[in-house]
Amino acid sequence: MFEKKEEQEVPKKTAIIEEADDDEMHEINAGELSAICSNLARGCEKQYRTKEAALFTELAKYYAAKTAIPQEAGFEISRQLIQKDLTHGLPAASAAAEASEDRGAKRVLTWSEKVTRMSEALLERYAAEGADMLKDTKIWVCDICGFIYIGKEPPAVCPICKVPSMKILEVK
Ligand SMILES: [Fe+2]
């Protein structure tokens, strides 16, 4: 019933990728694959695809076990990665979403930029206040958009993606 389709030559680079620096292109590592599989597992959960969610979770764990622990993880590295996201990653992704008129991607990227800027502000606050910033308080993360909140109780509604507080989970 099916006819073999002639393979079309796929362009090696898109316009967006051509604009990016060569050093931004890299092979996906195990940690990134783990994160992608974890996100796909959550996507499947939301669509009540429990079997697929379990398979993606298994893959995420497999790749997580193969992920090398960065030797230089810390405050300054986090700050640099946030800056790189704000100046390169997010603008490139937003341009790609705009070019393909992908409303879902544009919405998520808007959230991502807000969350990244808030994370940057938290890092700057931590730089100024040190460990006292986290004394007698709790850290909360929105399970949907990644919004980070520091306080005794989570906000009633996530200020970024508007989900109720039941989706804002405490991180210990
Ligand atoms: Fe959120």
Model confidence pLDDT, tens digit, residues 30-43: 988 999 999 999 88
The distance from CA 166 to its chain's CA centroid, rounded to whole angstroms, is: 20
Q: What's the confidence (pLDDT) of residue 40?
A: 94
* Total domains in the fold of the chain: 3
Note the pLDDT of residue 18. Answer: 45
Within a domain: 5:
no
Instruction: Report CA(59)–ligand 1 centroid distance (Å).
Output: 26
Residue 9 lies in a domain: no
Query: What is the Å distance from ligand 1's center to 11 Cα?
Result: 36
CA of 98 to the centre of ligand 1 (A): 22
Q: How far is the CA of 167 from the centre of ligand 1 (A)?
A: 8
Q: What is the DSSP letter of 143?
A: T
Radius of gyration of the chain (CA): 19
Please count the helices (runs of H) and the strands (runs of E) in the chain: 6, 3
Task: Please give the distance of CA 127 from its chain centroid, rounded to a whole number.
Answer: 23
Express each pLDDT in 130-165 by its tens digit.
889 999 999 999 988 889 999 999 999 999 999 999
Query: What pLDDT does residue 12 have?
Result: 47
Q: Work out the pLDDT band at 5, boundaries 50, 70, 90.
A: confident
Q: How far is the CA of 99 from the centre of ligand 1 (A)?
A: 26
Q: Which runs of E-coded beta strand occur in the chain?
A: 138-142, 148-151, 168-171
Residues 90, 113: one domain?
A: yes
**Residue found under tokens 């990134």:** 32
Asked whether residue 120 is domain-assigned, the answer is yes
Q: What is the C-alpha to C-alpha distance for residues 87 and 120, in angstroms, rounded to an integer? A: 13
Q: How far is the CA of 110 from the centre of ligand 1 (A)?
A: 12
Of residues 157 and 15, more confidently modeled: 157
Q: Which domain holds residue 167?
A: 136-172
* pLDDT higher than 90, residue 27: no
Ligand 1: centre distance to CA 12 (Å): 35
Q: Give a yes or no: residue 10 inside a domain.
A: no
Residues 81 and 125 in one domain: yes
pLDDT at site 23: 54
Is the pTM higher than 0.85? The answer reads no
**Residue 170 resides in a domain:** yes
Q: Average the pLDDT over each of 6-15, 32-41, 58-67, 148-157 and give the range with the smallest value.
A: 6-15
12 in any annotated domain: no
- Let me know if residue 141 belongs to a domain: yes
CA of 121 to the centre of ligand 1 (A): 17
